[in-house]
Amino acid sequence: MNKFLFSLLIAVSFGGAYADDLLSAQVAYQQVLKEYNTQKGQTVQLRKDLENARSQVSYWQTQLKNLEEKYQAAEALQNTLETQLQSAGTQLDNAWNTKKQ
């Protein structure tokens, strides 16, 4: 038999103010227990959500680092090619001008 029924039987058998106090305390206990269990479920879900969010943050930090590295490499190559293009253009102009003279 669970605590609630046992307490109720004792309260009824003693009667009076004791029964009212015992019943009131039992109802209060059950109410707090229900709230506790609800909150515990919410806390567990929040922990799972937090762990998932941390995992996603880690993933996106890695993605961001990789993109930054690729961008820097692409930018460096573009600068190198720009310098080479200017040099080749200067050589072409010099060759053209030499041919004209």
State how many domains the chain has: 1
In a domain, 51, yes or no: yes
53 alpha-carbon distance from chain centroid: 1
Q: For residues 37-65, give the mean pLDDT.
A: 97
In a domain, 94, yes or no: no
Domain membership of residue 60 as a residue range: 3-88
| Tokens 């060759």, located at residue | 95
**C-alpha–C-alpha distance, residues 100 and 94, integer Å:** 10
In a domain, 93, yes or no: no
Supply the pTM of this predicted model: 0.56
Assigned token pair, 59: 């993933």
Q: How confident is the model at residue 8, as a pLDDT?
A: 61
Assigned token pair, 31: 């109410």
In a domain, 9, yes or no: yes
Q: How confident is the model at residue 89, as a pLDDT?
A: 96
| Tokens 């720009």, located at residue | 82
Q: How confident is the model at residue 4, as a pLDDT?
A: 64
3 pLDDT above the threshold of 90: no
Assigned token pair, 84: 């080479």
Q: How confident is the model at residue 19, as a pLDDT?
A: 76
pLDDT tens, 8-24?
Answer: 666 566 666 777 888 89
